[in-house]
Amino acid sequence: MNPSLNNGKGFETRSSCPLCHGDLIIHWQEDEIPYFGAVMYISTRCSCGFRFADTMILSQKDPVRCKLSVENLEDLNARVIRSTSGTIRVPELGIVVEPGSISDSYVTNIEGLLTRIRDVVITATKWCKEEPEKYAVGNSILARINDVLEGLGGISIIIEDPLGNSAIISDKAVCETLSPEEAAGLKTGMIVFDVDTSSLKADTSEDGQSYELQ
């Protein structure tokens, strides 16, 4: 699997497709983006239909925890920087979003983050329609998220990242360095070509993350 260099920042490697086992060319392209620092874009596509794309964070900083209390519509505009190693928590809703097998990195705001979470909760709630207690919990969470999106607030967003590449950008956000013990207890995510799912932590999105309703 020797790399074939295209230029100073990009190269290709060859592997076999996990679906059809045919020849697969993987493209790697280095870049520099705000907040994340050095990143590597990875993409591949096979004629059988298999495709994969991700962004790998190359830099590493002090492990960090950022927390923002969402109280009004203005707070929904706070910028969220979530790397592939970031864990998102919404304690009031019992929601934990951990890095999964092919979790992605993104820049959004609190509104966009809550919309992502809401979409997953909608799917999870449909799955447990035959279980009255879980179905009621799901609908309760959805109602709370919708209230927050309408400006009623009352929740907090926490992002923890053992590699220090995630953040909440707001004057109200409180960020602190994690202890080595706290950082060691967090998942970092990894790049693989398969997605692990389970009945307890179901991968209900396309980004390979683990969403848990506690």
Q: Tens digit of pLDDT for each residue in 191-201?
A: 322 223 322 23
Q: Which residue has the tokens 């996990």?
A: 18
- Its domain, for residue 10, covers 4-57
- Residues 70, 27, single domain; the answer is no
Alpha carbons within 13 A on the beta-carbon side of 154: 13
User: In this predicted structure, what is the pLDDT of residue 208?
Assistant: 45
Sheet architecture: strand order including 79-82: 106-109, 79-82, 167-169
> For the packed helices 132-149 and 110-127, what is the interaxial angle rounded to 10 degrees?
160
Task: Give pLDDT tens digits for 58-102.
Answer: 777 899 999 999 999 999 999 998 888 899 999 999 999 988 766
Ranked by mean pLDDT, the top range of 36-45, 100-109, 205-214 is 36-45
Share of the chain above pLDDT 90, in %: 43
CATH number at residue 99: 2.60.120.1040
Contact 46, 62 (CB under 8 A): no
What is the overall mean pLDDT for the chain? 81
- Residues 24, 82, single domain; the answer is no
| Mean per-residue pLDDT, 126-132 | 89
Given 57, 82, 102, the domain boundary residue is: 57
> Greater confidence, 38 or 158?
158
Q: How confident is the model at residue 5 (pLDDT cuts 50, 70, 90)?
A: very low
Q: What Cα–Cα distance (Å) separates residue 209 from each residue in 104, 114, 191, 195? A: 8, 15, 12, 9
- Residues 52, 92, single domain; the answer is no
- Residues 37, 135, single domain; the answer is no
- Residues 94, 42, single domain; the answer is no
- Residues 47, 122, single domain; the answer is no
Number of domains in the chain: 2
User: In this predicted structure, what is the pLDDT of residue 36?
Assistant: 65
